Structure 1
């Protein structure tokens, strides 16, 4: 008798488990995104200087290149 109750309860549990889905999309008001604007890395770390930020990224990538590091 207990197996029958478990078998009948299983579909109900499976159906109700999908009801806990939370909306994960950002809110839009008047056709625009209503969330906080995230600053870019060059704005916070390099005082809004894109050129120095780009140079730092290029230098970092050049140091991570194994072909340049291994060959003298």
Structure 2
């Protein structure tokens, strides 16, 4: 009997699982984005210096490369 109730409740649970989706897009007012402007990483961490930010990213990528880290 428990199995029958479980089988009967399963389609209802699956049907209702998609009803909780909320809108995930920001509001647009008069054709403009109404949210706050997010600062970029180079603006906050590197005082708006794109070149040093790019060098840090390249350095980090090189350190994660096993071919560059290994000493053959």
TM-score, normalised relative to structure 1: 0.69
Q: Does residue 1:51 correspond to 2:44, yes or no?
A: no
Which has the higher Rg, Structure 1 or Structure 2? 1
Compared with structure 1, are the counterparts of its residues 23 and 62 closer, same or farther at alpha carbon in structure 2 (3 Å cutoff)?
Answer: same
Question: How well do the aligned residues superpose, as a CA RMSD in angstroms?
Answer: 2.2
Matches within 5 A, 1:1-72: 14=15, 17=16, 20-72=20-72
Q: 1:51, CA displacement in angstroms?
A: 0.3
Aligned length: 61
Tell me, which stretches of 5 or more residues in structure 1 are unaligned?
1-6
1:21–1:64 CA distance, 2 compared to 1 (3 A): closer
* Deviation (angstroms), 1:19: 5.0
Superposition TM-score, scaled by structure 2 size: 0.69
